[in-house]
Each structure stands twice: as structure tokens, then as C-alpha cells.
Amino acid sequence: MAGVANKNRVELTTDGQVFHGKVKTIIDNNELHWLGLEPFGQIGSFLPKDLPTLLAFCCNNSEYHIVTYTSGQRYVNRAVPDEKIYMLATGDKNPYLVFNPWVNPLHPLIEEDLFSKLGSEPDQIQRRRKA
């Protein structure tokens, strides 16, 4: 399910894989450490206090750009000041790309399934059921 709103030149998608595949967000913390950056989470995310560092990094490395996770729980393909989470990306730099999962009527079920899997992963590792 995807759509294009041409009035504001916004390209909206409700498929996270499509959005992150198109903008190529960097989720590998080892790659970010190699670049000299210190993400705070397990999927390459940065806090608002890191935004000046990310902006300086992107100015010096034009192949990278910033993706913002907003307080409205959407991903936008640009740096937006004073928001929740930031990520680096190397793909499409179109600032009008937006990932809004809430438009998808199945989002609550998809999110519940994802959090269920994430919650069981440490338990499986702790019980040595997973290598």
C-alpha cells in the first residue's frame, strides 16, 4: 500500500521495508563505529543531542544524509530539529519521502507481532535454545 501526494510533493509509503530499502538507512552499529560515530541503540539510532555531530558528518561526507523518526511516529527522509531519533542513510536523498505506518490498517497487528518476537528473542538466547 503506497501513495503519492503531489500537492506537497510528498511520497508516502506504509511499507517500512520499501522506505528503508529506498533510503538505505544504516542499522549496523559496527559500520557506524567504523565511521567514528556513537549510536545509542542497537539499530543505528541517534539522540537529538547527536544531531549537530550528524549534520557536520553529512556536510563532510556528501554520500550520507539524515533520516528522522518524528514525534508523530513517522520516518521522514531529512533532518528535522528537536525530534526523537535520527539515523544515517546512503540511498535516495529525496526529502519528501515519508514512511507512515499508521496509514496501514494492519499496522497494530504487525507491530504487536514484531514486539512479541523481540521480547522472546532474549528469552530464547538465555535458555540456550538459539545458537
pLDDT digits (tens, 9 = 90+) for 24-56: 999 888 999 999 999 987 788 999 999 999 999
Please give the Cα distance from 89 to 34 (Å, whole number).
15
Residues 15 and 62 in one domain: yes
Amino acid at 73: Q
Residues 112 and 56 in one domain: no
Torsions phi, psi for 85 (to 5 deg): -140, 145
Instruction: Specify which residues 65 forms β-bridges with.
Output: 89
pTM over 0.85: no
pLDDT digits (tens, 9 = 90+) for 10-31: 667 767 788 888 999 998 889 9
**Number of domains into which the chain is organized:** 2
Cβ neighbourhood burial of 71 (10 Å; 0-12, 13-18, 19+): exposed
Longest distance between any two alpha carbons in the chain, whole Å: 54
The domain in which residue 23 lies consists of: 2-99
Residues 82 and 129 in one domain: no
